[in-house]
Amino acid sequence: MFKPETYILRRKALKDEIRTGLAIFPGNTEASFNYPANTYHYRQDSTFSYFFGINQPDLAGIIDFETGAEILFGNDVDMDDIIWMGPQPSIADRGAQAGIKHTAPLADFARYIEEARTAGRKVHFLPPYRGETKIQLSEILGIMPKEIKESASVDLIRAVVKLRAVKSAEEITEIEKMVDVAYLMHTTAMKMAHPGIIEQEIAGTIEGIALANAGPVSFPVILSINGQTLHNHYHGNVLAEGRMMVVDAGCESEETLYSSDITRTVPVGGKFSSRQREIYEIVLNANLKAIEAIKPGIPYREIHLLAARVITDGLKAAGLMKGDTDEAVAAGAHALFFPHGLGHMLGMDVHDLEGVGENFVGYDDEITRSKQFGTAFLRLGRRLQPGFVLTVEPGIYFIPALIDQWKTEGKFTQFINYDKVEAYKDFGGIRIEDDVLVTDNGYRVLGKPIPKTVEEIENLMRR
Ligand code: GLY
Ligand code: MN
């Protein structure tokens, strides 16, 4: 945990945003409390952790905007708990770690809310994303589970996004520590990426590095020689010469929940073929140009489109695309090869704040989500602010089913050389992802630099 002042100041900042009613924050319970016990790793709710800091199940918090009260609800352990979990601090002691003076048994949480509702006061809550929390809120608030998300407080969503999106120095330090663990994960994966090894050996090794150095992986490891499948969690292939291995992986701090999210792509065996190198340099150029464009005030969608233009120019030079670059990108033709967004906010959730609704995080009244295939998947489109931490992750993929579909439909034949593309259907995919802080006048790539030029990767992988 951070020091108590951090949590005191965060709750005070929330009180400065909302003046009426009270906000309730149910912490996460165990995902499998009874049978089968011990199945899932416990993960606290990120927003609960942001305001109350304590990673233990069956807690709840209230911030009362009218009375100023801040209450932590939870039960002290009994002898059964001590037998299974060992001695635990009292709820009062845990509250003190987050600067909370007022604690109460968990049963009082529902009573406090009931009294507030009876008095006609507004009860703000965030959209729940877990079944258990939906049921808990449904029972306390008397709202059907299927209606609970729509009943969430937009005022609270906006206020929490405003606070959590801008990272403080201590939050940036936490993220940067996680990027440094990702350095170990990725450089280890690169050194192991030689013909004959099974993907699972590498995936398991780097997950172990996360656990040994920080905490769990921040999302299930994506590692595959079939990188054309964007989120490939199948790890059963044997690495073979001629393939490229995509590794998209990061870790999260066990204690504070901040995460990293890094992607590197390397040629199996450590030497790029000229065809691999040509496509790789395009993705690298898009990654570098996009990072260089980061500064406060610029809409991230503009940078996404800049990356799309760099990719289109590169693919034109390689003979895979043709025509006017701006027209091709405006039409969305690049999305055959780059069918996802350039990046997303990063913080306590790998797609930070995803649970409250992505459009609240990545878009606003000025910049709304595009409906065009490709750009529609961009999670962050709005103007950047100092303190945002985001990912920059362009890619080029050759997805045989998508190529076949577009070719059959005769889609964008003025921009795509389908005959040439046919020869790349066995290529796979490439993605290069870094975690970047928006500073007062530009950007800073977080963490120890992880090899990403052709030369750096070939040097590291040389045996
Ligand atoms: N690292 C996985 C993702 O950004 O979706
Ligand atoms: Mn990512």
Q: By percentage, how much of the chain surpasses pLDDT 90? A: 97
The ligand whose atoms approach the alpha carbon of 218 most closely is: 1
Please report the pLDDT score of residue 38 as a whole number: 76
The predicted-structure confidence for 101-127, as pLDDT tens digits, reads as follows 999 999 999 999 999 999 999 999 999
Q: What confidence category does residue 35 fall into, taking pLDDT thresholds of 50, 70 and 90?
A: low
Please state, in angstroms and as integers, the Cα–Cα distance from residue 413 to each residue in 305, 340, 401, 420, following that order: 21, 21, 17, 12
Q: Tokens for 164, please give them.
A: 């959590």
**Residue to probe by mutation, ligand 1, list 217, 251, 351, 436, most atoms within 8 Å of CB:** 351
Kindly give, in sequence order, each residue whose CB lies less than 8 Å from that of residue 71, ignoring residues fewer than 6 positions away.
61, 62, 64, 100, 102, 103, 104, 112
Ligand 1 centroid vs 261 CA: distance in angstroms? 7
Beta carbon of 352 within 6 Å of any ligand 1 atom: no
Ligand 2 centroid vs 249 CA: distance in angstroms? 9
Please report the pLDDT score of residue 40 as a whole number: 84
In the chain, where the domains are located: 4-165, 169-462
**Number of other CB atoms surrounding residue 125 within 10 Å:** 22
Beta carbon of 349 within 6 Å of any ligand 1 atom: no
Mean pLDDT confidence for 4-22: 98
The ligand whose atoms approach the alpha carbon of 391 most closely is: 2
Residues 417 and 270: their CA atoms lie apart, in Å, by 30
Please state, in angstroms and as integers, the Cα–Cα distance from residue 266 to each residue in 170, 192, 315, 449, following that order: 33, 11, 19, 16
Return the C-alpha torsion angle 456, 457, 462, 463, nearest 10: 120
Listed in order, strand segments (DSSP E) in 94-227 are 102-104, 123-124, 222-224
Return mean pLDDT, the chain: 97
Beta carbon of 261 within 6 Å of any ligand 1 atom: yes
Beta carbon of 435 within 6 Å of any ligand 1 atom: no
Please report the pLDDT score of residue 445 as a whole number: 98
Ligand 2 centroid vs 84 CA: distance in angstroms? 37
Residues 110 and 16: their CA atoms lie apart, in Å, by 25
In terms of pTM, does the model score above 0.85?
Answer: yes
- Atom of ligand 1 minimally distant from the CA of 393: 4
**Residue to probe by mutation, ligand 1, list 393, 397, 431, 432, most atoms within 8 Å of CB:** 393
Residues 463 and 461: their CA atoms lie apart, in Å, by 6
- Strand order of the β-sheet with 244-249 is 222-224, 244-249, 262-267
**Hey, what amino acid is at 248?**
D
The predicted-structure confidence for 66-86, as pLDDT tens digits, reads as follows 999 999 999 999 999 899 889
The predicted-structure confidence for 273-299, as pLDDT tens digits, reads as follows 999 999 999 999 999 999 999 999 999
CATH topology of domain 4-165: Creatine Amidinohydrolase; Chain A, domain 1 (3.40.350)
Please report the pLDDT score of residue 34 as a whole number: 60
Q: Domain 169-462 maps to which CATH number in 1.10.30.50, 3.50.50.60, 3.90.230.10, 3.40.190.10? A: 3.90.230.10
CB 63 within 8 A of CB 23: yes
**Hey, what amino acid is at 266?**
V
In sequence order, which ranges of 293-364 are alpha helices (DSSP H)?
Answer: 300-317, 325-331, 358-362
Residues of the chain by 3-state class (helix, strand, coil), percent to 5:
40, 15, 45
Residues 148 and 62: their CA atoms lie apart, in Å, by 18
**Residue to probe by mutation, ligand 1, list 221, 261, 345, 361, most atoms within 8 Å of CB:** 261
Ligand 2 centroid vs 50 CA: distance in angstroms? 21
The predicted-structure confidence for 120-179, as pLDDT tens digits, reads as follows 999 999 999 999 999 999 999 999 999 999 999 999 999 999 999 999 999 999 999 999
- The dihedral through the CA atoms of 252, 253, 258, 261 has a sign that is negative
- Altogether, the residues listed in the chain come to a count of 463
The predicted-structure confidence for 195-247, as pLDDT tens digits, reads as follows 999 999 999 999 999 999 999 999 999 999 999 999 999 999 999 999 999 99
- Atom of ligand 1 minimally distant from the CA of 249: 1
Mean pLDDT confidence for 305-322: 98
**Number of other CB atoms surrounding residue 333 within 10 Å:** 25
Beta carbon of 434 within 6 Å of any ligand 1 atom: no
Please report the pLDDT score of residue 33 as a whole number: 60
Left (φ > 0), alpha (ψ -120 to 50) or beta: where does 193 sit? beta
Tokens 């656990």 belong to 211
The ligand whose atoms approach the alpha carbon of 433 most closely is: 2
The predicted-structure confidence for 382-433, as pLDDT tens digits, reads as follows 999 999 999 999 999 999 999 999 999 999 999 999 999 999 999 999 999 9
Beta carbon of 252 within 6 Å of any ligand 1 atom: no
Ligand 1 centroid vs 56 CA: distance in angstroms? 26
Ligand 1 centroid vs 230 CA: distance in angstroms? 9
